[in-house]
Amino acid sequence: MSGTCELCKKEKETICHLFWFYDHAKGAWTTSKLVLPFKIPPRWSFLDVVENLLRWEDTGLGLLEKVITVCWGIWKNRNVLRLGGKGQAGRTLLRGAMHLVDDFLAANELKSRNRVKAFPIMVWQPPSRGHYKVNTDGAVFSNRKQAGAGVIIRDDSGEVVAELSKKWKCPLGAVKAEAKALETDVNFARDVGVRDIELETDSLEIYNAVQGLASSLSSVANVLAGLMNQASSFRQWKFSHTKRQGNVPAHVLA
């Protein structure tokens, strides 16, 4: 997003301004009892907020869902106001968002409890000092006969250096989409100019193939051979695997 906020006509319309610092958004948050366990800097993106909420998910069950739903309500309200409609007061907007979350949590309460007990929360882990972690994820859109890739590069402090969303207008299988996403990962990191990298994917099949732990499928053998050749041009590089929970931003971009 760029340009001046269409509603206040004063500040630049960034994600943080729209969802947290604009007066109409403040009206919703100040009437709520939601307390974030961290402070949101003005330069953060929405993905930064989501990632930090995931790190606190075990201490604030339902907080992520509530924050996202309130943001959705603020966005919807912003569009109504922008088009000349009558927006909702902050208290009304918040009440509607909390009703939606309560209905969702009630319907999924048992499933959510079992998931939290059975699986520990997996969060993004930083690379070694002086290195960059390049996370990637592939996605398949069968109904549109398309595939996509999301790539996000962060330094050892977790700061986002660059991010990319790419689409292919052709049908790809799940494994090939993950392989093409990792290929995009390598090429994007090279274009950005980072030299010491850790390439991370949530596809265990692709990770095992590039690590030589399993033979790669014939459909992606050439892609993997090409990306391995490209990876060798970096000063230092390695592959790593994470679960989907630790790869949320890349998944969202895909």
pLDDT at site 134: 95
Q: Are residues 162 and 111 in the same domain?
A: no
**237 and 153 part of one domain:** yes
pLDDT string in tens for the chain (254-residue length): 457 777 777 777 788 888 888 777 777 787 777 777 788 888 888 888 888 888 776 555 578 888 888 888 888 888 887 778 877 777 777 777 877 877 776 666 655 555 545 445 567 889 999 999 999 999 888 878 889 999 999 999 999 999 999 999 988 888 899 999 999 999 999 999 999 999 999 999 899 988 888 765 777 888 989 989 999 999 999 999 998 888 888 888 87
From 54, 85, 118, the end of a domain falls on: 118
Residue 185 buriedness (CB in 10 A; 0-12 / 13-18 / 19+): buried
pLDDT at 115: 53
Question: So what's the pLDDT on residue 12?
Answer: 78
**Nearest Cα to Cα of residue 153 among 111, 195, 112:** 195
Q: Are residues 99 and 157 in the same domain?
A: no
Which tokens belong to 147?
């595939």
Residue 10 falls within a domain, yes or no? no
Query: Could you list the residue range(s) of the whole structural domain that residue 152 is in?
Result: 132-253
| pLDDT at residue 112, rounded to an integer | 53
7 inside domain: no
Residue 213 falls within a domain, yes or no? yes
pLDDT of residue 94: 78
In angstroms, the CA 68 to CA 50 distance is 8
Rounded to an integer, what is the distance from CA 152 to the centroid of its chain?
A: 9
Q: What is the largest CA-CA distance in the chain?
A: 60
Cβ atoms within 10 Å of 25's Cβ, excluding its own: 24
Residues 206, 178 contacting (CB under 8 angstroms): yes
User: Tokens 């989409």 — which residue?
Assistant: 177
How high is the pLDDT of residue 107? 67
DSSP assigned state of 197? E
Contacts of 54 (CB under 8 A, 6+ apart): 64, 121, 123, 245, 248
Domain count, the chain: 2
89, 118, 147: which is the final residue of a domain?
118
Backbone angles phi, psi at 103, to 5 degrees: -65, -40
The structure tokens listed for 217 are 């499928």
Run of H or E residues at 136 = strand 132-141
Of the three residues 118, 142, 166, the one that is the final residue of a domain is: 118
Examine residue 101 and state whether it is found in any structural domain, yes or no.
Answer: yes
Which tokens in the block code for residue 158?
Answer: 């977790």
Residue 201 pLDDT: 94
First to last CA, the chain: 19
212: left (phi over 0), alpha (psi -120 to 50) or beta: left
